[in-house]
Structure 1
């Protein structure tokens, strides 16, 4: 995580902000984007989000490396919406099985942009937030139960290990000639077997971690903190920035006449 938390050798600005403040800012943006399916509000929010990524120490390369599953999911969702939505307006493409009209294309583009605008803040939040800082904030300021906080911390710490474990299992299986050849069905069965192996390793690792944490007194009634979680002026600006992005996106869509409530669009 060091590359994402530092920028040119210095701590990135958003890295120093309180995790709860960053979560609040992301939540404000997400709520507004979840209300409408138009492309204007999503485009405005997405433009602001891309400007914030350098403040989190992220480059486009790191953005793609960390968020490519979400980016591809948004692209597939936008395309599916464009070809499956009811035709409205002039037909732009008709191949018999499916067609794309002006209305369905606008809906698909809105879904694509909205998916990206919702996913990228999550990537930003996870990339510029230290798991220990998040756990401290959840326990000290959000007053969440210790077991929930420790479980969240352990899960975030194990995400990177699971990725490495997946590669290790894959290389071990390929060394035995499993999963490196065959038809698509055989490759799919090999991938499912590798997924089951990763699940077994995850359960074993979680069990060992739980026993270790219990033996060291985690989750006890009385706790002390090595670092005090506090709110600063920077945190206020982070929350205000999230509110500003959300408000600007909504106002832009309403002003352009494209604001389209989700529950109304589905009727």
Structure 2
């Protein structure tokens, strides 16, 4: 009677990150990525990316695996490289001058720095987000950060309901066709079906709100917890590592004299 069988939850590809509390993951990602927004040079971005790949390798994610799992990031980095190189701030020797396109040594340098910085910020963020269970994150936000339970669990339930929209759309389409209403104008049919989907979503949201109020969400009575979310020493170690990565990268840039404030271009 006391057993509560649950399906296995997703886990991070890194054995170390899988042991970190979801709230610590979010805080650590912010501590690691925000300082990198203020620097635009190859040394800080490149050293940060290299340190991150090495640490991920130690944590069980090989560098080629991390790069393969984050391939959309590198497409965005390539776009940043091209845009900054072709249309960025001109400085140094001119390599190509054609209409609005001015390619200089400075624009090429900052284009490469921007692309590497995109990778240094996005790669660890994507790896940390993989296997992050939304329910565990919601429990941590409520129990550790003391966020309003009504807002957090309401948002979680709303995210879960997004997965039902496709099935609702299909069911509404079959229902309309069975009544002979699906053979008219395609635009009108889509608008009418979208309105029906809106009505279904509002009704479901109303039932969900009533059920949450009945279970005490948003009230003054303390709620019992099925899962207890707490911070452990490994979470502190993780946050220290996340702070150390940008500090080391920016320190190397300052020591070599290559640091450049990102918003001074």
Q: Give the corresponding residue for 1:44.
A: 47
CA contact (8 A) 1:29 1:242 kept: yes
Structure index of larger Rg: 2
TM-score by length of 1: 0.72
Matches within 5 A, 1:145-160: 145-154=148-157, 157=160
211, 214, 217: which one pairs with 1:215? 211
CA offset digits 1:178-214 (Å, max 9, x no partner) = xxxxxxxxxxxxxxxx9xx999969955863563364
CA offset digits 1:64-122 (Å, max 9, x no partner) = 45x44443223212221111122211223344441311101111111111122222222
Alpha-carbon distance in structure 1 between the residues aligned to 2:79 and 2:122: 14
Q: Give the corresponding residue for 1:243.
A: 243
Q: Give the corresponding residue for 1:259.
A: 259
Q: Give the corresponding residue for 2:136.
A: 133
Q: Give the corresponding residue for 2:11.
A: 5
Provide the aligned C-alpha RMSD in A: 3.6
Higher helix share: 1
Alpha-carbon distance in structure 2 between the residues aligned to 1:85 and 1:256: 24
Alpha-carbon distance in structure 2 between the residues aligned to 1:257 and 1:23: 32
Alpha-carbon distance in structure 2 between the residues aligned to 1:129 and 1:214: 28
Q: Give the corresponding residue for 2:90.
A: 87
TM-score by length of 2: 0.72
CA contact (8 A) 1:84 1:98 kept: yes
Alpha-carbon distance in structure 1 between the residues aligned to 2:132 and 2:62: 12
CA contact (8 A) 2:53 2:63 kept: no
Matches within 5 A, 1:159-198: 161=163, 165=166
Alpha-carbon distance in structure 2 between the residues aligned to 1:144 and 1:125: 22
CA offset digits 1:10-50 (Å, max 9, x no partner) = x8221111122222221122121011111211111112222
Runs of 4+ with >4 A deviation: 56-65, 155-159, 197-207
Residue 198 and residue 23 in structure 1: after superposition, are their counterparts in 2 closer, same or farther (change >3 A)?
Answer: farther
Q: Give the corresponding residue for 2:127.
A: 124
Moved more, 32-41 or 149-158: 149-158
Q: Structure 1: which 5+ runs fail to align?
A: 173-193
CA contact (8 A) 1:4 1:57 kept: no
Moved more, 104-113 or 77-86: 77-86
Matches within 5 A, 1:53-64: 53=56, 55=59, 60=64, 64=68
Q: Structure 2: which 5+ runs fail to align?
A: 1-7, 174-189
